[in-house]
Copies of this chain bind each other. A is one copy, B any other.
């Protein structure tokens, strides 16, 4: 058994899109678990857009990562040493391990995994991203059969679950994705009724025209996880009494739109005139419903009604590059890092 812990630390705060120099690989002595704690050897690490926010010093819905601190993240792994009731060596678990080869966590912070499905599913389709889609639709989308839903990043772990759950509820689903391959996956793997490649449209106006064709009855639910050009394209197509669960603004993280003409008055007026409902969604508020999600969706994943895609990078040292690529859409499906076999 290795006697060192490897971890990816935040070396400095990024400006806009992170670069490799914002991260540093560090090595520490392997810690031992205290009473009630468990030492986990991390197997798979989840990479998620929310982590970009944790790299900033600004107040957000969760504390920042400190300079020199380990990047936050959920992982799966095997119990190496347990001093917590209910956990034994060899158990497959998941918890907030961080970007690290090992983690010491309280037993109460860990959840045991069922070995019937790959442990990676606990990070994506049956983890935080899948749950985000499920709980956001349930609380804020008021899905009605016959309506139309649009979602961007539609082959990602949130967008693909949003589309599949909405389609199962009888909605027409329109995917917006980056590139020809992802639009194909949106249709063929995730069953979207229509899929558009936003890279094929030079501006919001041309994307809007294509969306208008793909959503001939307008858009009733826009699942917002990107912002920027897609929002500009979608807003005029929203139907009266439309709903916008706002789950992410990844296209705005780098402040790319700062020099654009002010679109807020037009947005504000659209919300009024169309009686839209915009609801900010942070999944961490809703963990109390996580078991309900697993109960409902696990069988759908097991029998293939819900499809999922994973993009697995190899080696903890490659986590920063995989994370940066993910923020610009370079991955396909849920981004995971294999930390150990």
What CA separation (Å) do A224 and B265 show in the bound complex?
13
Given A255-B265, A262-B257, A265-B257, CB of A282 within 8 Å of CB of B275: yes
Contact status B268-A246, CB under 8 Å: yes
Which B residues are CB-close (under 8 A) to A224? 268
A256 to chain B, nearest CB (A): 8
Contact status A262-B273, CB under 8 Å: no
Contact status B272-A276, CB under 8 Å: no
**A258 touches B (CB below 8 Å):** yes
What CA separation (Å) do A246 and B260 show in the bound complex?
24
A120 to chain B, nearest CB (A): 27
User: Nearest B residue to A265 by beta-carbon distance?
Assistant: B252
**A280 touches B (CB below 8 Å):** yes
Contact status B265-A262, CB under 8 Å: no
What CA separation (Å) do A116 and B274 show in the bound complex?
37
Contact status A278-B275, CB under 8 Å: no
Contact status B252-A268, CB under 8 Å: yes
Which B residues are CB-close (under 8 A) to A260? 262
What CA separation (Å) do A281 and B211 show in the bound complex?
26
Residues of A within 8 A of B (CB): 60-61, 224, 227, 231, 240, 246-249, 252, 255, 257-265, 267-282, 285
Q: What are 14 A-B contacts defined by CB distance under 8 Å?
A: A61-B273, A227-B268, A247-B272, A252-B269, A257-B262, A262-B263, A262-B264, A271-B279, A272-B280, A272-B282, A274-B280, A275-B280, A275-B282, A275-B285
Give the 10 A-B CB pairs with smallest separation, nearest first: A252-B265, A275-B280, A278-B278, A271-B280, A263-B264, A260-B262, A264-B264, A272-B280, A249-B268, A277-B279
